[in-house]
């Protein structure tokens, strides 16, 4: 299974936070699955950190790449097809970061690993 990590899911994995569900942890740890972190999540982390809404132990430029490599998470760039798919989504969720993750998951055939109940309203595979 190809898993696209929601931003909070990535942060909970790298910090060992108890908010990460047992099933999400099992899926992430299963070597048969591939895990991806979107460049959209990296952008969200950088923006929220700069605004003071996301305290981090080190700068996002170091944390994201180092933790992604340490946990064998692949980087997923935002491509044109996924960006344009956003125009087809109904306005169920106002968060632009989450909307782009939904687009990437749909276009790329990925399962979104997210606790966000608003995301599950979209026609996207989700697990939590």
Dihedral sign for Cα 41, 86, 35, 128, please: positive
C-alpha span between 79 and 17 (Å, rounded): 30
Give the pLDDT confidence score for residue 69 in this predicted structure. Answer: 97
Per residue in 20-70, pLDDT tens? Answer: 999 999 999 999 999 999 999 999 999 999 999 999 999 999 999 999 999
Phi, then psi, of 30 in degrees rounded to 5: -70, 115
Average the pLDDT over 80-98 and give the result.
Answer: 93
Here the contacts of 81-87 (C-beta below 8 Å, separation 24 or greater) are: 81/107, 82/106, 82/107, 82/108
Give the pLDDT confidence score for residue 57 in this predicted structure. Answer: 93
Give the pLDDT confidence score for residue 93 in this predicted structure. Answer: 79
pTM of the predicted structure, to 2 decimals: 0.95
Tracing tokens 């996002």 back to the chain, one arrives at 60
**Is the predicted pLDDT of residue 2 greater than 90, yes or no?**
yes
Per residue in 32-42, pLDDT tens? Answer: 999 999 999 99
Give the pLDDT confidence score for residue 92 in this predicted structure. Answer: 87
Task: Give the chain's domains with CATH numbers.
Answer: 2-127 (3.40.50.1010)
C-alpha span between 97 and 108 (Å, rounded): 16
Give the pLDDT confidence score for residue 94 in this predicted structure. Answer: 85
């Amino acid at each position: 299974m190809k898993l696209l990590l929601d931003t909070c899911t990535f942060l909970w994995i790298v910090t060992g936070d108890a908010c990460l569900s047992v099933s999400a942890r099992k899926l992430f740890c299963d070597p048969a699955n591939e895990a991806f972190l979107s460049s959209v999540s990296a952008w969200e982390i950088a923006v929220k950190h700069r605004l003071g809404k996301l305290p981090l132990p080190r700068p996002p430029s170091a944390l994201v790449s180092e933790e992604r490599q340490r946990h064998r998470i692949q980087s997923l760039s935002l491509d044109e097809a996924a960006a344009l798919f956003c125009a087809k989504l109904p306005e169920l969720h106002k968060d632009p970061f989450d909307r782009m993750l939904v687009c990437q998951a749909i276009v790329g055939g990925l399962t979104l690993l997210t606790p966000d109940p608003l995301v599950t309203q979209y026609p996207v595979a989700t697990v939590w």
